[in-house]
Structure 1
Amino acid sequence: MDRPESRGPPPGPLRLFFLTCFVMLTALLTYPMLRTFSFWLHSSLTGNYVSGSYSIVFVNCPNEQIARDVARYILDKKMASSANILPKTSSLYFWKGEIEESTEVLLLIKTKTSKVPWVFAYMRLAHPFEIPEVFSIPMDQGDARYLQWLEEGMKEN
């Protein structure tokens, strides 16, 4: 009487297929973490700036005082090194099926890309808008001295 084969990896080419799929899936799932780590390692070893290491976060605020309060908190918590508050802008947008119009103040926050999720989380909690306009754009290039200054501004004491 034949014994059923023990459970184990499939034989031959099927084993290679499963192994290849596993490696590709693992690489795909860990890519963001590996990419961030490789940027950090490259910058540390060479002293060169890697595109995308820093970002600018855009936040529309209802007035200058709220923009100042948000900027001060973010700077105080070392989530960013710099913030600019641009004067009144006119905004037109759809809200609940209607076209709305208002004046807002634009807050630009310069930070490390790795800190952007923390800035977003704070905005969800502290921003007075039901759905705050918060988005970021990675910096492609920048003056090395300025980027070093940004880095130093976010170091914990």
Structure 2
Amino acid sequence: MATEIVIAQTTSADEAEAEALARGAVERKLAAGVHIDAPITAVYWWKSEVETAREWRISYMTTTDRLPELEAWVHEQHPYDVPQWITLPVNGGSTAYLAWAVEETRASGDRQDI
């Protein structure tokens, strides 16, 4: 079975924290690349109140093989009690880009030329 690509997302209330969560995942080969969206407004229930907050959405390009380790690492690093964590399957795309994503999430001993 071929390795599948997914986009995993979380949010952060602090831009520097979002950058740290992005950089740390890439440095650890848990994600091939990460996008940090411009500030968004989140409206949600929290502790019986409707809250509004400014957040940065962090989108990780990773593989299903690396997803459990990425999720564990993000939850360990994340300051929220209940961080958003959703995954979106990638159902298509450039063959070269998807191959790059697979290659960049391999452990150093598993790397191959693409």
Could you tell me the TM-score, scaled by structure 2's length?
0.89
Q: CA deviation at 1:137?
A: 0.8
1:99 aligns with 2:50: yes
Which residue of the partner structure matches residue 151 of structure 1? Answer: 102
Which residue of the partner structure matches residue 57 of structure 1? Answer: 8
Higher relative contact order (CA 8 A, sep 6+): 2
1:78 aligns with 2:38: no
> Quick check: 1:123–1:134 contact (8 Å CA) kept in 2?
no
> Residue 123 of structure 1: which of 74, 77, 83 is its match?
74
Q: CA deviation at 1:139?
A: 0.6
Which residue of the partner structure matches residue 112 of structure 2? Answer: none
> Quick check: 1:62–1:103 contact (8 Å CA) kept in 2?
yes
Matching residue's letter, 1:102: A
Which residue of the partner structure matches residue 109 of structure 1? Answer: 60
Q: CA deviation at 1:89?
A: 0.3
**What fraction of aligned residue pairs are identical, expressed as a percent?**
25
- Considering only aligned residues, what root-mean-square deviation do their CA atoms show, in Å? 1.2
Give the secondary-structure state (helix, strand or coil) at the position aligned to 2:57. strand
**Aligned equivalents of 2:84, 2:107: Cα separation in 1:** 28
Could you tell me the TM-score, scaled by structure 1's length?
0.66
**Aligned equivalents of 1:55, 1:151: Cα separation in 2:** 10
**Aligned equivalents of 2:22, 2:74: Cα separation in 1:** 11
Q: CA deviation at 1:156?
A: 2.6
> Unaligned stretches of 5+ in structure 2?
109-114
Tell me which protein shows more helix as a share of its residues.
1
CA deviation profile, 1:49-70 (whole Å, cap 9, x unmatched): xxxx010011111121111101
Structure 1 runs (4+) deviating above 4 angstroms are none
Higher gyration radius (CA) = 1
**Aligned equivalents of 2:84, 2:106: Cα separation in 1:** 27
**Aligned equivalents of 2:76, 2:89: Cα separation in 1:** 23
